[in-house]
Amino acid sequence: MKPFQSFRQLDHHDSHTIRLYENTDTDEYAPHWHSAWEIVLPMEGMYSVIINDMRYDLFPGEILIIPSGTIHELFPPKTPGRRYFLMVDTKVLYALDGFPVMEDAFYPAVHIRMEEGECFLGETMPILYRAIREMQGTDPFRYEAARSLLSFLFIRIGRRLLITRQEEPLHAGASPQMKRQDVMLDACSYISLHCTEPLTLEHVAREFGYSKYHFTRLFKAYTGNGFTDYLLRQRVLICHRLLADPSILITDIAHRSGFGSIATFNRVFLKMEGMSPTAYRQMLQTKQQ
């Protein structure tokens, strides 16, 4: 398969749910975003990305995963270099059971560095390289093979993100800790499934047998977010999908996603995404033209 030669070609190539782009230019890309998830993999030379005023400097062999809808800027080195971009449509990831539970852990981005540990990077990179080789081949099943590999990659990384958010590292025989991990995983799943309902901290804590104070402490340690922030993020993620359908009114999206009022919806969405729901939809429509 011939890699795409520009982001414009890539953004308008919709025949596959995964796309590969090989880039060697030194052009900078102004703030932009994609409806797909983006994986940045420098092969030769460094590459820098800015997200939410935070700069990610990637060395060759490191990975940056940018979730759907995240506004980012790209800054390649002024000297020649080479890097891969993989675009993974959200439908690939939403097809994974339990992905909504770990999705929030990827925001605003995930940078897998050399210092993260050679073991994890050493186990992760072969999966990504294999997916790239599959997409560069001619086998009729190459896209399905690449989808399977990338799905496994996201599961591995998402699982690691969840585990590293625990109060203390897991160790052999740590059954109480592992039990809490399982309970918090179930709690995240419960919130994701019921986020459009009028959930309260007290209700969810009671559902899992904790006082709201104990649940708050464990949940914060596990997810890195407070209950309210996590709940609102799950609702905003639903809004991403609903806003992609121009036939659904903004007011209907506010109610269907659990916000209740258009004012609350606009305020939360603007705070989390840096733009209004209307502006987000307009950007989606512009990309599809």
| Residue 171 CB coordination number (10 Å) | 8
User: What is the model's pLDDT at position 10?
Assistant: 41
CA angle 88-278-268, nearest 5°? 85
Confidence category of residue 287, pLDDT binned at 50, 70, 90: low
Q: 156 and 69, same structural domain?
A: yes
- Which of 184, 201, 224 terminates a domain? The answer is 224
In the block, tokens 């398969």 appear at 1
Q: 197 and 144, same structural domain?
A: no
Q: 91 and 53, same structural domain?
A: yes
Q: 158 and 23, same structural domain?
A: yes
Read off the pLDDT of residues 150-193 as tens digits, 9 standing for 90 and up.
999 998 898 888 776 654 443 444 445 556 777 887 888 889 88
Q: 247 and 136, same structural domain?
A: no
User: What is the model's pLDDT at position 171?
Assistant: 41
User: What is the model's pLDDT at position 18?
Assistant: 93
In a domain, 185, yes or no: yes
Exposure letters 220-256 (e unless 16+ CB within 10 A, then b): bebbebebeebbbbbbbbbbbbbbeeeeeebeebbee
In a domain, 2, yes or no: no
> Closest by alpha carbon to 177, among 189, 168, 185, 186?
168
Q: 118 and 46, same structural domain?
A: yes
- Which of 140, 163, 186 terminates a domain? The answer is 163
In a domain, 1, yes or no: no
Q: 152 and 71, same structural domain?
A: yes
In the block, tokens 């659990």 appear at 258
Q: 215 and 120, same structural domain?
A: no
Report the DSSP beta bridge partners of residue 57. Answer: 48
Confidence category of residue 223, pLDDT binned at 50, 70, 90: confident
Q: Does pLDDT of 13 surpass 50?
A: no
Q: 233 and 216, same structural domain?
A: no
Q: 218 and 107, same structural domain?
A: no
User: What is the model's pLDDT at position 165?
Assistant: 60
In a domain, 262, yes or no: yes
Distance separating alpha carbons of residues 106 and 114, to the nearest angstrom: 18
Q: Are 46 and 74 in contact (CB under 8 A)?
A: no
User: What strand order describes the sheet that includes 47-51?
Assistant: 29-32, 72-75, 47-51, 54-58
Phi, psi of 47 (to 5 degrees): -150, 140
Distance separating alpha carbons of residues 281 and 245, to the nearest angstrom: 9
Is pTM beyond 0.85? Reply is: no
Q: 158 and 85, same structural domain?
A: yes
Q: Range of 210's domain?
A: 175-224
pLDDT over 70 for what percent of the chain? Answer: 85
Q: Are 57 and 46 in contact (CB under 8 A)?
A: yes
Q: 141 and 24, same structural domain?
A: yes
Phi, psi of 196 (to 5 degrees): -80, -5
In a domain, 168, yes or no: no
Q: Does pLDDT of 205 surpass 90?
A: yes
In a domain, 170, yes or no: no
Confidence category of residue 57, pLDDT binned at 50, 70, 90: very high
In a domain, 169, yes or no: no
Distance separating alpha carbons of residues 38 and 86, to the nearest angstrom: 6
Cα-Cα-Cα-Cα torsion 10, 11, 14, 19, nearest 10 degrees, comes to: 40
Q: Amino acid identity, residue 179? A: K
Read off the pLDDT of residues 243-269 as tens digits, 9 standing for 90 and up.
888 899 999 999 999 998 999 999 999
Confidence category of residue 1, pLDDT binned at 50, 70, 90: very low
Report the DSSP beta bridge partners of residue 32. Answer: 72
Q: Identify the CATH number of the domain in which residue 269 sits.
A: 1.10.10.60
* C-alpha dist (Å) from residue 9 to 5, 82, 171: 7, 18, 48
* C-alpha dist (Å) from residue 243 to 17, 237, 253, 281: 19, 10, 7, 6
In a domain, 129, yes or no: yes
Domain count, the chain: 3
